[in-house]
Structure formats: structure tokens, C-alpha cells
Amino acid sequence: MNSPDVHLLPTALPQPLRYAEALLRHFTALSHVSDTQRLVDSLVEAAIDLTSCESGQLYLLDETATTLKPCANWYQGQVQPLATDAMPSDYDGSQLLQYCLCQNRVLAIEELDVSLHDTTFLPPGRRWRSLLCLPISGADNHVVGLMVMAGYDARDLNVYAKSLAGLASAALERMRLLQRLRTPVAVEMPISAPVIAEDGYGFIGRSAPMKALYRLIAKVLHTPVNVLLNGETGTGKELAARAIHDFGSRRAQTFVVQNCASLPESLLESELFGYVKGAFTGADRDRKGLFDVADGGTLFLDEIGDMPMTLQAKLLRVLQEGEVRPVGSATTHKVDVRIIAATHHDLRKRVEQGLFREDLYYRLTHFPIVLPALRERGEDILVLARHFADKACAFLQRRPCRWSDAALDCLASYQFPGNVRELKGLVERAVLLCEGGELLPAHFALQPEHLSAPPTGNIRERLDQVERNLLLDCLRKNAGNQSQAARELGLPRRTFLYRMKVLGITAKHV
């Protein structure tokens, strides 16, 4: 390890010379540590000594950049046990750490406000007032972890950011050296599945296919690989692309969308690559293309399978060389754009048919993600239907609609060729048609050819279903009043309650 550079030293400290001596001492000490766990503990201990904070934590991303794992925890003057659970790399549960990790920005707060800031990641039992959250970059300038320092006193910890970042980078370089020399190592990050919320990244759904989708999205948030989204129309490909951008390391930059099937070839070329003055009739000035607009951010190319072959060649050069040449220009220039493409076509078949370049196909399919069709998502159908109905009622400033069992059964047995987009339209139309406050099968314009065959059953099962629907309708008519519903049906209340229990009717069904 080299001695610290002058630019790492804080200029706002009363004794900069003493601080420089302490920083040099810690650089030297870390360079002689030969155990990786001791190395990360010593790094946090050094940060505690330099800043006089009461708490210090170090988190590192695993090899897949999908899971953030605690590696060192210093509190009350000593090393503390590490948390057992890893966290998703987007740090969705904490806004402060999410901001720091996803935007790669130092976060320093002189006066923490518990009503505004979530500080559950800090040790409990004391009022924390100052915070420094520092992203740590690796050799390729990508974020590899976080250092978190906190103190009881209100003060500006930002003055330590540069020196701590330099110390952390040197320590991590030492760790990489130790890992190359000795295997296994004590704190080598395990490749484990990230903890994913049941609903995530702007999607709504708890089914197994959706949880698998959330895991795939988490794996590419902080990596620069190209992503190809494939799925039927209406499955949410643009929503997935926006999630990868909004929760990833480029979230502070521009997200640009272009549908490759919506423009003729000449217009699409000038839209993507821009043009120079005089390139064609009407080009009276230079105009930036979408690659330049998205420089530093993300460009989402929807329906990439419909892009003309000549433009595919130009796109391939952007992916290979990172260079763009505007229409009418003889020179190229560099851009830094992440490409996320989407299509409902089978691109492999398009390649076999000569409609899509094979070399571009392999460039785009570094990390393919297939979005599940709605009919494969089981219980998500009714969850989405209720969500869309509530939003439609709120938009129309109406009271929420009730759902009849028959309407829910119809939706559950429908195949939804248009997927989530079709479901949304069907529910919004049904809310408009609903006048009695209850959504019925008649309110939904379902195509008969896409309805599943009705379930088979013996006479007892069918009669139970008829009785169940009768009891539910009567309960809803009487606003859940069981005694009144029993009287209306001419049943003793005890018998009515017994039949409710047998048929599995509870208050949540009313």
C-alpha cells in the first residue's frame, strides 16, 4: 500500500498534520494484515479512530453484485457480531442506503431526524445524530460496497469522505491480493439468492414466476451487461426495463424509450443516431440522437425484432465499440449507454429466417429475461384485478366496488391473451358499467374461446357451490349481518353459522 495522497486529507480539521500522521499509520498497518476478516475489521476500526464516531459498519456486494452482505461491525469500542441475513443489492428497505448505493454518491447528514430518516440499520438504543454513508468503488469504478459511520454528536462527517474512500480502496485491493494467494478466505462473499419482497420493482404479484423474475432483475441492477426482455404483448416489458434502470447504478441518469416498429427506417435511423446540418433536405441544424440523449443512462429499444437489417448493423457497432456516427457525418464519437432491448418475437427463429443478424443476436442475449404470461401467474390475476378496480374507482371518485364470486371465478378461468394490459382494460370497463356497486360477470367482455372449461364435480360439490353463492349473496345484501341474513333465508342462526363454517365462508369473503 502507498502512503495517502495529499488530496485525501481533510482541510476543515483543526489539526490536519496529526490527522495525516494517523492516516498514514493506518495505511501502513492495513498493508501488513494477512487475514481477510481481520482486514475488514481493522478498516472499520481505523475509520472509527480517524472520525471519532461511535459506530462503523462495512458492507460488500457479492460476486454476482446482487446481494449486500455485512462484513464488519464496530460499536461500543469493539467488534460486534455480524447480522446473519444478507440484503438485496437495491437496499429497498432503507432509503438512505439505497440512495447511496444506487446513485454512487456520498451521503452526509449533520442532524438525523428520525421522523424523516430510517436509521434501523444503526445499532438500537441511542439517538444517532450524524451519519456518513460512503460508497466504495472497485478497480473498474463500479460500486462494490458501503461504509457507514455514525455519531452521537451533530457534525459534518463529509470532511472525512475522501480519505476514508482512499483507505477503503487500498484495503479492498489488499483483500483481493489475499484472495488470489489463499483459498478459501474467511470473508469471501457467498453467492446467495437476494431477499426479495413479495411485490417488487413496480410489479404486483407474489406468484412463483414473479419471484423468479424479481431475482433475475436483482442480478443485473449493478452490472453493465446488455439485457434482452422477451415475453408476450402486455406482460410488462417496459416496466421491467424501467425497474432495471430506476433501481440500478444509472438511476440518476436519463432513461429513454424508442419503439423500433413505430417509425420507418430513415426516420428511425436519424432518431437513434442523430444527424448533422445538411445531411438531407430539411436538416437545417445538427440534432442529437437518442444514443446521445441517453449518454450515461439507459436506452430501451422496444420491439427490437422489428428493426430493419441495415440499422441492426449500426446498432451492432454501438454495442461493440461504443461509437455513434450521426447521419451525414464522417466522424464517430463515443457514448456510454446501457442497452435494454425487448421483443415478443422468438429472435432465434428470426435469425434462422434471415430477418435478424446472428452477431447482433448474440450481443443482445448476454442476459435474457422472459416475462411470464398472466395465465401462468395463478393467484396474481385476482390480486391485479382488485388493484385495477380500486384505482379505477379512485379515479372516478366512486366508492370501491364489491366483487361477486362469479366474477372472480370468470377471471380466474380466463386465459388473457392480452395479459396484464388486457386485464387492466377489462376491469376499468367493468367499473364503468357497474351501477349497483358489485362487479358481476356481465360487466366483463370476456371472449368465450379463451375461457377454460368449467370444473367438473359430483352433484354434492355442485350443490355446495350453489349454496355457498346463495349464502354469500345474502350476507352481502345485508352488509355482513349474519342474524339478518339467516332470518331472510328462513334458517336458525346456529344452522346458518354451521353452514358458513362447512362451506368455508369467512368475513373476508363478504
* pLDDT 10s digits, 323-344: 999 998 889 999 999 999 999 9
263 grid coordinates: 417509425
What average pLDDT does range 432-453 have in this prediction? 81
Q: Is 225 exposed, middle or buried (0-12, 13-18, 19+ CB in 10 A)?
A: exposed
Going by C-alpha positions, the residue among 263, 265, 264, 345 that lies closest to residue 303 is 345
User: What is the architecture, at CATH level 2, of domain 208-372?
Assistant: 3-Layer(aba) Sandwich (3.40)
Residue 194 has pLDDT above 80, yes or no: no
Q: Is 228 left (phi over 0), alpha (psi -120 to 50) or beta?
A: beta
Q: Is domain 374-454 given the CATH code 3.40.50.1000 in the classification?
A: no
Distance of alpha carbon 452 from alpha carbon 114, whole angstroms: 52
- Please list the residues that pair with 202 across neighbouring strands: none
Q: CATH 3.40.50.300 occupies which residues in the chain?
A: 208-372
Going by C-alpha positions, the residue among 313, 299, 296 that lies closest to residue 226 is 299
What average pLDDT does range 460-464 have in this prediction? 72
Q: CATH 1.10.8.60 occupies which residues in the chain?
A: 374-454
Residue 43 has pLDDT above 80, yes or no: yes
What average pLDDT does range 215-225 have in this prediction? 86
Grid-cell match 457525418, residue found:
329
Are 214 and 196 in contact by the 8 Å Cβ rule? The answer is: yes
Total Cβ atoms within 10 A of residue 397: 6
Q: What pLDDT is attached to residue 258?
A: 93
Superfamily (CATH) of domain 6-181:
GAF domain (3.30.450.40)
The percent of the chain in helix, strand and coil, each rounded to the nearest 5, is 45, 15, 40
Distance of alpha carbon 126 from alpha carbon 128, whole angstroms: 6
Q: CATH 3.30.450.40 occupies which residues in the chain?
A: 6-181
Q: CATH 1.10.10.60 occupies which residues in the chain?
A: 456-510
For the chain, the farthest-separated pair of C-alpha atoms sits apart, in whole angstroms, at 92
pLDDT digits (tens, 9 = 90+) for 135-186: 887 766 677 888 999 999 998 899 899 889 888 888 888 887 776 655 433 3
Q: Is 479 left (phi over 0), alpha (psi -120 to 50) or beta?
A: left
pLDDT digits (tens, 9 = 90+) for 54-104: 999 998 877 656 677 888 888 888 888 776 555 555 555 567 777 777 777
Q: What pLDDT is attached to residue 357?
A: 93
In the chain, how many H helices and how many E strands? 17, 16
Using DSSP's 3-state secondary structure scheme, residue 404 falls into coil
Distance of alpha carbon 188 from alpha carbon 207, whole angstroms: 32
Are 328 and 271 in contact by the 8 Å Cβ rule? The answer is: no
> In angstroms, what CA-CA distances link 129 with 101, 119, 155, 157, 158?
21, 10, 8, 11, 14
Distance of alpha carbon 471 from alpha carbon 485, whole angstroms: 8
What average pLDDT does range 219-223 have in this prediction? 85
Going by C-alpha positions, the residue among 217, 185, 192, 211 that lies closest to residue 64 is 192
Which residues are CB-neighbours of 421 under 8 A, at least 6 positions away? Answer: 233, 234
Which residues are CB-neighbours of 484 under 8 A, at least 6 positions away? Answer: 478
Residue 215 has pLDDT above 60, yes or no: yes
238 grid coordinates: 417496459
Distance of alpha carbon 301 from alpha carbon 308, whole angstroms: 13
Least confident of 228-242, 375-389, 423-437, 441-455: 441-455
Distance of alpha carbon 243 from alpha carbon 201, whole angstroms: 5
pLDDT digits (tens, 9 = 90+) for 287-314: 899 999 999 999 999 999 999 998 999 9
Residue 191 has pLDDT above 60, yes or no: no
Q: What is the CATH number of domain 456-510?
A: 1.10.10.60
Distance of alpha carbon 139 from alpha carbon 146, whole angstroms: 15
Q: What pLDDT is attached to residue 301?
A: 94
Q: What is the CA radius of gyration of the chain?
A: 30
Element containing residue 324 per DSSP (H, E): strand 323-324
Total Cβ atoms within 10 A of residue 459: 7
